[in-house]
Structure 1
Amino acid sequence: MKKLFFTFLFIATTISISSQTIFGKWNSRSEEGVVDSVLEIYEKDGKAFAKVVEIMNPDRKDARCVDCEGEYKDKPIMGLDILSGLEKEEDKDEWSGGTIVDPRNGNTYKCYIKLVKPNKLKLRGYIGFSLFGKTAYWERAK
């Protein structure tokens, strides 16, 4: 009976973890480790995108992406699609092939994201090769 119980528990846990998704709301932290914004990752035409849905600092609510270039130049950060065009890698729990814009400095990077735990997302932004970049971890917003 114990063997059957632990087998069932293992299967239920495995299904629960694998059914988690990258989609939903995530907390982004500043370099100081403070949650500064909430982003929502959503799917459109089979690709992943993320937009800023909440800015924690009341003084930054009306902030614009002044250092950004192109279509992002001077756009309000609230509602800005900062992550775009990521596609799911076959046989992997990774989404890649898209870009991310950092509204803090206006730079655009190639990126990939991966769910490392049910409520923890790894985001890697880079220029050229993923070796030359920066990793951030987002936690699922409650």
Structure 2
Amino acid sequence: MKKLKFSAFLFGAMLAGSAAAEDLSGLWQQIDDKSGSPKALIEIRKESNGSFTGKIIKVTPRPGYTPQKTCNSCPAPYTNQPILGMDILTGLKSINGTANYDKGRIIDPLSGKVYDAKVRLNANGKRLSLRGYMGVSALGRSQTWIRQD
């Protein structure tokens, strides 16, 4: 019985370790937290300093929605930049030994608001939950992003 418990513990530790070691780099489909429909395709890359940056590489067409071309209400350095190709997620850092990332910043190019950001990657590395907030995480919104590659 003790061997069975120990084996289960080791298996669980291996699963947790694999999720913690998962790299966020790749293509992610951003899902709108209000409508549940795909919003944009984001390419996340790892920077030389170990942080992660996410760039919009495709805006997903949606019924009844005319895509905004530039970031009109955004603060500098985003002011009037094209949304396509914009780095919207910056500075995201891995929390050692976990599947969590924090210390990031994300901009909503439609409203121009900049939020603190943190991410939790699911166990199989196929979905992430991004939380954007101002000040306190409890006062924010979450989105699900789905790995595309």
8 Å Cα contact 1:65/1:103 also seen in 2: yes
Residue 77 of structure 2 aligns to a residue in which SS? helix
What's the TM-score once normalised by structure 2's chain length? Answer: 0.78
Aligned residue number for residue 56 of structure 1:
60
Letter in 2 for 1:87: K
Q: Which runs of 4+ in 1 moved over 4 A?
A: 15-19
Correspondences of 1:95-114 after superposition (within 5 Å): 95-114=101-120
Q: 1:122 aligns with which of 115, 129, 134?
A: 129
Q: Partners of 1:130 and 1:66 in 2: how far apart?
A: 26
Following superposition, the deviation at residue 20 of structure 1 comes to 3.5
Are positions 1:131 and 2:124 aligned together?
no
> 5+ residue gaps in structure 1?
1-6
The sequence identity of aligned pairs, in percent, is 28
* Larger RCO: 1 or 2 (CA < 8 Å, sep 6+): 2
Are positions 1:91 and 2:94 aligned together?
no
Aligned residue number for residue 44 of structure 2:
41
Q: Partners of 1:17 and 1:123 in 2: how far apart?
A: 16
> 5+ residue gaps in structure 2?
1-6
Q: Partners of 1:91 and 1:111 in 2: how far apart?
A: 19
Q: How many residues align?
A: 137
8 Å Cα contact 1:21/1:115 also seen in 2: no
Aligned residue number for residue 28 of structure 1:
30
Q: Partners of 1:136 and 1:57 in 2: how far apart?
A: 18
In the TM superposition, what whole-angstrom CA distance separates every residue of 1:20-75 from its partner, at most 9, and x where no partner exists? Answer: 32211100123322212100111102111100011122953x71111211101110
Is the deviation greater in 27-36 or in 42-51? 27-36
CA 127–37 in structure 1, closer or farther in 2 if over 3 Å, else same = same
Correspondences of 1:65-84 after superposition (within 5 Å): 65-84=71-90
8 Å Cα contact 2:19/2:98 also seen in 1: no
Q: Partners of 1:47 and 1:20 in 2: how far apart?
A: 14
